[in-house]
Structure 1
């Protein structure tokens, strides 16, 4: 049975190259706990080329949290930095890398980009 976290990482791995990450070369590991143990996802970024695996290992940044919390984040019901401030997730290593992944996490259902919203408002006036 699939869950939002698995769906997110599998889709991220299929993207191959991500323009939003072209300036980045880094590795991140996500250790996500649940009732049966820990799911580990490893994300390697090399100038926008993204590779996702279930391997463990050393990483520039390690993200710790529950899979339920990460499900809410990738499902658009919560934001990664809000969860971090509530101490629902924590990181080790280069915390700046969380911003990179934050660029790829979908927004809330029905959310629109602020520029699109502004254009719509100006067009209605």
Structure 2
């Protein structure tokens, strides 16, 4: 059986550096509730350099949600903003870090980057 959350954090940790987060420094703790307790993941961002761990540490932001919802977010099957509006995701601390989560979550299955469809720029017509 696959574990979308663990796979998401493993991919994020292997990324090493995320250009979309080069202006960001801070640590986020993810508290993911399920029927047996709470799973905790830590994401440390240092000017775009990413480090994922399960080690307890001081954090700047805590994001709380259910493990089931995070599994769907990690697979691109759930819209982060809709979940915020439904109050299924909560954040404490530095809100900017919680907002930036959208930069590392996958889009919906089959989604393409908008530039993939942009016509090539040609010289003057």
2:41 is matched with which residue?
A: 41
2:11 is matched with which residue?
A: 11
TM, length-normalised to structure 2: 0.88
Question: Which of the two has greater helix per residue?
Answer: 1
SS in 2 for 1:116: helix
Q: Which runs of 4+ in 1 moved over 4 A?
A: none
2:99 is matched with which residue?
A: 99
Give the C-alpha shift of residue 100 in structure 1: 2.1
- Root-mean-square deviation (CA, aligned residues, Å) is 1.6
Query: Quick one: distance in 1 between partners of 2:30 and 2:83?
Result: 15
Render the CA deviation track for 1:36-70: whole Å, top value 9, x for unaligned: 11100011111111111002333111000101001
For 1:1-125, list aligned pairs within 5 A: 2-119=2-119
How many equivalent pairs are there? 120
